Amino acid sequence: MAAKNEQPIIIKKVKKVVHGHHGGAWKIAYADFVTAMMAFFLLMWLISMTTPEQKQGLADYFAPSNVSRSTSGAGGIMGGTAFDATGARMPGTKPQIVMTVSTPAQPKSPETAEEKAAAAQMEKLLKEKSARDERNFRSAAESIRQSMRENPDLAQLSRNVIVDETPEGLRIQIVDQDGRSMFPADMAEPYERTRQLIDEVAKILIKLPNRVSISGHTDANPVRGKAGYGNWELTSDRANAARRIVENAGLSSDRIYQVIGKADSDPLFPEDPYMAANRRLSIVLLREAPVTPPGFSP
């Protein structure tokens, strides 16, 4: 009977759910939010500190570029006209109908063996000439620099000499500097130091076969005290004085290609036509002219 009064034993199993770790993703989101807010407040501060002109400048900078602010009518870039096959015409006018008849291009006759050989010979001569010019120019430039280093009287003129290469050839420019001129004011004959420098340049040019061009230049200041005598006459006379110096140094007259005066028409510093360096002599060792081979016609 006692067994009947026993209470049943109930076992309850409880499953524990383990939640995963949240990680640090919320920190990244929060940092992005803080950064965005800082950028926003910085932008608002910059806007409050700028002037209306600066704001307009910013707006113009970020606005798309336009050719004209006018959208139509005569304010446009074409002034109310339009392009068609006949060019510009006013609205309302009838376009002209132009009929063109195209003819088929004639096939070019094949080159003969002689023409091909002449073209190949010309190309070879041009390459040889260009290489020879480059060697001559490098040699002349280095010789000029060496002469100025070794000669104490010329070394002090180093700032007055510019040597560079142009499409014409090797250009040696003898320029005035503030406080050191190469010619007396408004005079055609150079100072003795300038004469010595031109003579030294001539001795180097004598060793090369290229022809020589000499030009005189000045600044925009007019010649003073000589009626009927201006910068054109002055620069021509200075270039001619340089020609006499190089010829007396031994340069053959048949190697003189041209002697010209350019007044102030070709300044070395166009932004300042009164600058002292615009007054100069330019002596150019010209590139050799190509020799046309027999039987070649361009």
| b/e map 109-129, b = 16+ CB within 10 Å | eeeeeeeeebeeebeeeeeee
- The pLDDT value given to residue 248: 95
Say if residue 262 is exposed, middle or buried (CB neighbours under 10 Å; 0-12, 13-18, 19+). middle
Q: Mean of the pLDDT values across residues 262-266?
A: 95
Chain segment 111-145, per-residue pLDDT in tens: 677 777 777 777 777 777 777 878 888 888 888 88
pLDDT band at 30 (very low <50, low <70, confident <90, very high): confident
Q: Between 21 and 262, whose confidence is greater?
A: 262
In the sheet with 280-286, reading across from the earlier edge strand, the strands are 161-165, 169-175, 280-286, 212-217, 256-261
pLDDT band at 67 (very low <50, low <70, confident <90, very high): very low
Most confident of 59-63, 75-79, 105-109, 132-136: 132-136
| b/e map 21-35, b = 16+ CB within 10 Å | eeeeeeeeeeeeeee
pLDDT of residue 188 exceeding 80: yes
CA distance 112 to 180: 62
Would you mind telling me the total number of residues written for the chain in this entry? 298
Q: What is the DSSP letter of 76?
A: S
pLDDT of residue 95 exceeding 50: no
- The pLDDT value given to residue 77: 34
Superfamily of 115-286 according to CATH? OmpA-like domain (3.30.1330.60)
Q: Between 266 and 54, whose confidence is greater?
A: 266
Chain segment 205-255, per-residue pLDDT in tens: 998 889 999 999 999 999 988 888 999 999 999 999 999 999 999 999 999
The percent of residues in the chain predicted with pLDDT above 70, rounded, is 69
Residue 20 tokens read as 């995963």
The percent of residues in the chain predicted with pLDDT above 90, rounded, is 37
pLDDT band at 17 (very low <50, low <70, confident <90, very high): low
Give the residue extent of every domain in the chain: 115-286
Could you tell me if 215 and 265 are in contact, meaning their C-beta atoms sit under 8 angstroms apart?
no
Report CA-CA distances (Å) from 246 to 181, 212, 223, 254. 20, 10, 26, 12
Does the pTM exceed 0.75? no
- The pLDDT value given to residue 71: 41
